[in-house]
Chains A and B, each alone.
Chain A
Amino acid sequence: MTLVSLSGYLLFIAFIAYLVGTLLFGGAVKGSKNEASASNKRWGKAGITVTIIGFIAHLGYFITRWMASGHAPVSNMFEFTTAFGMMLVGASILFYFLYKSSAIGLFALPIAVIILGYAAMFPKDIQPLIPALQSYWLTIHVITAAIGESILAISAVAGLIYLLKNVDLTKRSKGRTWLEVVMYTLILVVGFIVVSAGFGASGYEAKFTYVDKNDKPAEIVYHNPPLFGMNQYELQTEGAMEPLAEMPPIINAKTLTTFVWSIITGTIIYLLIRLITRKRVAALLQPLAKKANLQLMDEIGYRSVLIGFPVFSLGALVFAMIWAHEAWSRFWGWDPKEVWALITWLFYAAYLHLRLSRGWEGRKSAWLAVIGFAIIMFNLVAVNLVIAGLHSYA
């Protein structure tokens, strides 16, 4: 067995372990209040054990892939996102041992599963490093930044649990609407995974020639039925669908097509859930959060920002500046990825000031934590794929 295939198997084991771990943690918070909490503790212990096994397998994936390629596996979208998923699980293990809360594991693991699924939709082959990335700062900067982001993400997990328990879902309110929007967004990511995996499995391909924004001829291959065509496209594959509309040159119609397919699929899944269960998705998840202790969730949310903020500052700003100084000749250049790291940093700085000086605790704090995670995800997804910049390596 080669290192590469071994690393693939280990990642798969981790993925399965996280799914199983979610179920076990589910067992730990289920059951009525009067039931002996000893049983809940057993479920919780089983949950954390399986999670740790998954995490070790995940770490194994990371190390074997590193050995195979000779560089830290954080150099493209698949690798970074997979590593981020791993660190998110690592952070949730850390907080399990700090606060013995099964709820964090129960909600963090499915998010990690979705992140891994998302990562798997990008090219998985091991790529050699382009000159700009040939530096030990790749390892130091990216790994530290990802650890910081994953610890910050725990505050969003705690915040989500807080909101699921705290927001009254029986009455119409802004909180209820926005919570449902969060759920819908998560399902859209699932929609993306379903679409990509589905059309990928069917081997769909449609090849086009088009004219790019510099007026040069180019080629592109779609892996799902092209809803939108590139600028002055010409279909090359026989029998494939003709795009419904042509896009101007600055819009990547392929990305837009995938995006729209994801929204369609995600919305269908969401509507099916609503139709079948006759409940809001938040209401479906609420029983799982009912047992959580609000004060503890608030404390975890705050503590994870406290632990994560310095790590994020170090990795995503300071190390980033040192590397940028070596590679691009300036420590700061207003590249979109840099700017969004700064935005993330400013946002959490605002979080801390609002909490410390203006008493924004509990629900307000929880909403801020969820928004913070959305900013981190925006920087990972949209800035890499939509906004062009020096960091667009995927």
Chain B
Amino acid sequence: MSSIKCECGHVNPEGTDICQNCGRPLSAEEKEKRLADMRYDGAAIRSMTHKRSIVDKVWNFFSSVKIGVSIIIAILVAAAIGTFLPQVFYVPAANEAQAAQYYEEHYGTFGKIYNALGLSDLYGSWWFMALVGLLGISLVVVSLDRGIPLYKSLKNQRTARHPSFMKRQRLFGEGKVADPDAVMAKAKEKLKEERYRIKEEDGAILAEKGRWSRWGPYVNHAGLIIFLLGVMLRALPGFYVDESMWIREGETLAVKGAPGLFIENKGFSYEVYSKDNAKEVFGEAIDRVGTVASKYQTDVALYKQPENALPGSTEKEYVKDYSIVVNKPLKYEGYSIFQMDFKLDELKSMTFALENKETEKPVGELTIDLANPEKEYDLGNGSKVRILDYYPDFSGFEDGEPQSATPIPNNPAFLFKMFTPEKPEGETSFVAIRQTLEPLGENEYRMAFQNADTRNVSGLTIRKDKTIPIISLGGLIFLLGVAQSSYFNHRRFWIRRTEDGKLLVAGHTNKNWVALKRELDKAAEYAGLPKYSDQRDPEEAIDANTEGDSKA
């Protein structure tokens, strides 16, 4: 690795812009500039010193801010494209074929192409995740590449800087004063009052404050890296549970994804705002909109398997009662159970009467539990009804066979065999809602529908996310880092006495120059420092007559 020796004798690594000892410009580029490039305090960042090996080349690629911003823009554009149409997980489709059909049916050719290109699952695609991964690598590399040299440079900075360094600062002033030492002493006093830390070296002062704000970018990058690591952890088994289940009123079921937990649905309620129960001010809106839901609530009891339970035992220990509503999940042992969905008035049971078709005289009644139908119902006096087949969600006939679309009793149908003293060999009847078929010839008896009971069904989601503490920590560190670099400033003043009795003053801040000038004004006025000027873009210099004279 080559190095550059400065006039002052200090040896700087290759790629250094400003001598780390005295502040003279070193690189040809830097010498050309009217104002010093104070990024990283002119220190050589790693990507400028190591350029040989493949590792260096990869490192230099990721350390480039240009590349970093390009990755950010690529993610931004991709994310936007993903909002053109609903993503596949918001679409009612159980599989890829259904999804393809949905996109084509609803969004035409555009939808077909969108889905075919994989844009309907853009955020889960390998290339989107790869982009986020590249951003993560870039964050790590760029922080190390710049953070470490900057830290070293600021830690080892010298108090006395060469006049060429000071002249090339944005705020610079020089002039003769009567008693340089007295002026410097007073300036020191005032800057101390402004809470600057002062370092002195024969005839030179460095006043500095807020250096820690320079670490803000690296802190927030570290937070983002932790956040991304947390998200990656979710792919490991055991860190992340995401299940959903339907549970009917009155049922007790094992909680999906949470071994050993059981939940009983004690009742689901759905409420809407009405003029009677809502505040008067809502009246107009209720009239205009019609139905506005006010509450979805599932009352549950939670049970758990005792710790010493034998495998396969159904023993349950009561834990607690809870009312799950939206925004208030049931939380237990790291699991959260959310109110996510519901179905009102699902059929629970149906009651039929076995009766003689001619006389309409009932032989007896039977009630079928639709979730758990019995095989045979004995009506006494030699009459019984057998269920030959049950189609909970009857959807029509295929090749003469009745079909059930789902196992949910949305549209129950039965194939009954009715036994009566008159017909001991039995009569067969197919009964669906508003439809009766007698496939094996005319019957004497029929099953007459009497009534049905319904119940509500709650849709619950079960989550467990062990990565939340890591993700939260990452988010917190990010926020602290952003605040650190946004709301605090690194300010420095250099004051130096020259051999010919002149005073040089220079000031630098990483941002908010208005406030820096205000503080320098105070010190200059109090101590009688030479007048300074803002050397940036003289053609845009503040015109005294224009408004906004930045005296704020």
Contact = CB atoms under 8 A, between A and B. Distances in A.
A and B: bona fide binding partners: yes
Interface of A: 3-4, 28-29, 33-34, 37, 40, 44, 68-70, 97-103, 123, 125-128, 130-132, 134-135, 137, 213, 248-250, 291-296, 299, 302-303, 306-307, 309-310, 313-314, 318, 321, 325-331, 334, 336, 339-340, 342-343, 346-347, 349-350, 353-354, 356-358, 383, 387-389
A125 B72 CA distance: 41
A126 B284 contact: yes
A37 B107 CA distance: 61
B276 to A, nearest CB: 13
Interface residues of B, number: 75
Shortest 5 CB-CB distances between A and B: which pairs? A357-B65, A131-B326, A101-B548, A125-B284, A125-B285
Given A33-B545, A326-B329, 7 more contacts: A37-B547, A125-B284, A126-B284, A131-B293, A131-B325, A131-B327, A346-B72
A103 B550 CA distance: 13
A307 B548 contact: no
A336 B84 CA distance: 9
A343 B66 contact: no
A132 B294 CA distance: 9
B513 A299 contact: yes
B39 A357 contact: yes
Which of B82, B282, B340, B513: most chain A CB closer than 10 A? B282
A293 B536 CA distance: 14
B340 A329 contact: yes
A127 B285 contact: yes
Contact of B292 (A128, A250, A294, A306): A128
A137 B475 CA distance: 17
B83 A313 contact: no
Contacts of B475: 318, 321
Contacts of B547: 28-29, 37, 40, 44, 100-103, 291-293
A339 B292 contact: no
A115 to B, nearest CB: 22
A295 B542 contact: yes
Given A98-B552, A125-B284, A213-B106, A302 B123 contact: no
Interface stretch (B346-354, B374-382, B412-420, B477-485): B477-485
A306 B511 contact: yes
Interface string B324-336: 0111110000001
Nearest to B83: A336
A294 to B, nearest CB: 5
A29 to B, nearest CB: 6
Contacts of A350: 69, 72-73, 76
B279 A342 contact: no
Contacts of B310: none
A128 B279 contact: yes
A318 B65 contact: no
Contacts of A135: 327
B472 to A, nearest CB: 9
A100 B86 CA distance: 46
Given A101-B547, A306-B511, A343-B79, A128 B282 contact: yes
A295 B536 contact: yes
Given A131-B296, A310-B479, A339-B82, A292 B546 contact: yes
Given A33-B545, A357-B65, A68 B281 contact: yes
23 contacts: A69-B279, A69-B281, A99-B550, A100-B551, A126-B282, A128-B273, A128-B278, A128-B282, A131-B294, A131-B325, A213-B106, A249-B106, A250-B106, A293-B548, A299-B513, A306-B486, A310-B486, A318-B475, A329-B461, A334-B123, A342-B79, A343-B80, A346-B75
Given A126-B282, A299-B514, A353-B65, A313 B478 contact: yes
Contacts of B482: 309-310, 313
B487 interface: yes
B486 A127 contact: no
Contacts of B292: 127-128, 130
A123 B433 CA distance: 44
A3 B550 CA distance: 42
A339 B286 CA distance: 31
A347 B68 CA distance: 12
B294 A100 contact: no
Contacts of B288: 123, 125
Contact of B86 (A101, A131, A330, A388): A388
Contacts of A299: 512-514, 550
Nearest to A383: B83
Contacts of A346: 72-73, 75-76, 79
Interface in B461-493: 461, 463, 468, 471, 475, 478-479, 482-483, 486-487
B329 A100 contact: no
A10 to B, nearest CB: 16
B34 to A, nearest CB: 14
B96 to A, nearest CB: 19
Contacts of A250: 106-107
A134 B295 CA distance: 9
Contacts of A356: 39
A339 B536 CA distance: 39
A339 B281 contact: no
B179 interface: no
Given A213-B106, A310-B479, A296 B326 contact: no
Contact of B83 (A34, A302, A387): A387
Given A4-B281, A126-B285, A327 B548 contact: no
A125 B278 CA distance: 14
B328 to A, nearest CB: 8
B401 interface: no
A293 B537 CA distance: 13
Nearest to A68: B281
Contact of B548 (A4, A103, A342): A103
A29 B285 CA distance: 45
B543 interface: yes
Nearest to B480: A310
A330 B79 CA distance: 18
B335 to A, nearest CB: 11
B463 A330 contact: yes
Contacts of B514: 99, 299
Contacts of A68: 281
Given A318-B475, A343-B80, A37 B87 contact: no
A313 B479 contact: yes
A300 B46 CA distance: 33
B108 interface: yes
B242 interface: yes
Nearest to B123: A334
A132 B313 CA distance: 39
A354 B285 contact: no
B338 interface: yes
A293 B542 CA distance: 7
B307 interface: no
A318 B479 contact: yes
Contacts of A292: 546-548
A353 B68 contact: yes
B236 interface: no
Nearest to A327: B327
